[in-house]
């Protein structure tokens, strides 16, 4: 922070936590920044609730992911289905995975897997992981312990494995651990197991080969195909609530959990609708085919930046 503080600031660049970082690390960095500068400003996000953090920021990425996928499910089924009754495979057991799992449970889904860097835990019954299991795992992870230390023998532990080839029939897959955590083979296993929705909680969770498997299946099988939601849209809830934390810091206000959650829901709805409408505009889907959300997300992101650059004189056309 003694070096970084020269390059960041509430109106310059605002860093945030990501994989391996919790409120504890943000606290140490924020405290050092404040001591060096002798002033309080919202220079980092993911702060603690009593010193400028936003309600719902810890939950935001996992919750936002589930909100995004809920829109995918409702669109794909004409509003007939939701998370209720779905079997959901999740990888990871950190911040994103924990809150995605808890929101899935709240919406009536069954969570059939979690994992960490050492292995995967699979629920073979119809009950899956319960909220108390997830809370116990969260407590282990604060102490940097492995899932092998989780003493609930109703789950199958597979050392060195990722969940995708182990979970059997699932409806939804939410990679939420780290990058490149779904290979082409694992993507095919999910498709073969009947998975209909996959969306990344992790950044770049799916390999290029995996994305090709999903996109080919979507095109070939139309409404019976799997539908892929890329992380750059589906996991945007975290950075979005960091933006809301900055807004609250600037106003010296704290919004309630309900207010932040409502805003998060609105942001994820807009993100889904933007991906959808941009995909329809630029990559017209064939009759009965779901629009490509990866094309929609990429093009929407690119055109927004390109238009802003043109408006600000970075480039122009005659």
Ligand X SMILES: O=C(O)CCC(=O)C(=O)O
- Using CB under 6 A, list all residues that contact ligand NDP: 18-20, 61, 92-97, 116-118, 141, 146, 176-179, 201-203, 235, 238
Q: Give the shortest CB-217-to-ligand X separation in angstroms.
A: 27
Region binding ligand X by CB under 6 A among candidate stretches 220-228, 234-242, 256-264, 280-288: 234-242
Q: Is 239 near ligand X (CB under 6 A)?
A: yes
Cα–Cα distance list, 153 to 19, 35, 88, 118, 218 (Å): 28, 48, 20, 17, 38
User: Rounded distance, CA 23 to CA 17, Å?
Assistant: 8
As measured in angstroms, the least distance from the Cβ of 27 to ligand X is: 15
User: Which of 183-191, 238-246, 266-274, 300-308 is the region at the interface with ligand X (rule: CB under 6 A)?
Assistant: 238-246
User: Which of ligand NDP, ligand X, none is residue 92 near (CB under 5 to 8 Å by kind)?
Assistant: ligand NDP
- Both tokens of residue 11? 């109106």
The listed partner (ligand X, ligand NDP, none) that binds 54, CB under 5 to 8 Å by sort, is none
Site for ligand X contains 249 (CB under 6 A):
no
Q: Closest approach of Cβ 318 to ligand X, in Å? A: 38
Question: CA angle, 152 as apex, 146 and 158 as ends, to 5°?
Answer: 55
CB of 173 to ligand NDP, least distance (A): 14
Contact call for residue 203 and ligand X (CB under 6 A): yes
C-beta nearest to ligand NDP: residue: 94
Decide which of ligand NDP, ligand X, none touches 178; Cβ closer than 5 to 8 Å per partner kind: ligand NDP
In sequence order, the 6+-apart residues with CB closer than 8 A to the CB of 232 are 297, 298, 301
Checking 29-33 for CB contacts under 8 A at 24+ apart, the result is: 29/1, 29/4, 32/1, 32/2, 32/5, 33/1, 33/5, 33/8
Between CA 15 and CA 36 the distance in angstroms is 17
205 is an interface residue for ligand X by CB under 6 A: no
Tell me which residues in 37-76 interact with ligand X (CB under 6 A).
Answer: 45
The shares of helix, strand and coil residues in the chain, as percent rounded to the nearest 5, are 50, 10, 40
Give exposure, 1-21, as e/b (b: 16+ Cβ within 10 Å). beeebeebeeeeebbbbeeee
| CB of residue 239 to ligand X, shortest distance in Å | 4
Query: Nearest distance from residue 243's CB to ligand X, in Å?
Result: 7
Question: Parallel, antiparallel, or unpaired for β 172-174 and 87-90?
Answer: parallel
């Amino acid at each position: 922070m003694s070096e970084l503080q020269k390059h960041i600031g509430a109106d310059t660049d605002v860093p945030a936590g990501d994989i391996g970082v919790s409120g504890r690390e943000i606290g140490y960095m924020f405290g050092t920044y404040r001591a060096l500068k002798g002033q309080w400003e919202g220079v980092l996000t993911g702060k603690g609730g009593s010193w400028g953090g936003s309600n719902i920021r810890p939950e935001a990425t996992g919750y936002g992911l589930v909100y995004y996928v809920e829109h995918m499910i409702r669109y794909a089924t004409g509003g007939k289905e939701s998370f209720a009754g779905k079997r959901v495979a999740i990888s990871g057991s950190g911040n994103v995975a924990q809150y995605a799992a808890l929101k899935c449970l709240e919406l009536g889904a069954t969570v059939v897997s979690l994992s960490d860097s050492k292995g995967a835990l699979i629920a073979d019954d119809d009950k899956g992981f319960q909220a108390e299991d997830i809370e116990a795992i969260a407590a282990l992870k604060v102490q940097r312990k492995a899932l092998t230390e989780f003493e609930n023998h109703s789950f199958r532990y597979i050392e060195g494995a990722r969940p995708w080839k182990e979970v059997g029939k699932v409806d939804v897959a939410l990679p939420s651990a780290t990058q490149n955590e779904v290979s082409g083979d694992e993507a095919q296993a999910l498709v073969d197991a009947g998975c209909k929705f996959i969306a990344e909680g992790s950044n770049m969770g799916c390999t290029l080969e995996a994305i090709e498997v999903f996109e080919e299946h979507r095109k070939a099988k139309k409404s019976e195909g799997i539908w892929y939601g890329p992380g750059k849209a589906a996991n945007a809830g975290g950075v979005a609530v960091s933006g809301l934390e900055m807004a609250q810091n600037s106003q010296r206000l704290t919004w309630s959990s309900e207010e932040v959650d409502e805003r998060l829901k609105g942001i994820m709805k807009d993100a889904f609708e933007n991906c959808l409408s941009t995909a329809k505009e630029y990559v017209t889907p064939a009759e009965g085919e779901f629009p490509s959300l990866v094309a929609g997300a990429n093009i929407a992101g690119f055109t927004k930046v390109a238009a802003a650059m043109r408006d600000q004189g970075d480039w122009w056309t005659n």
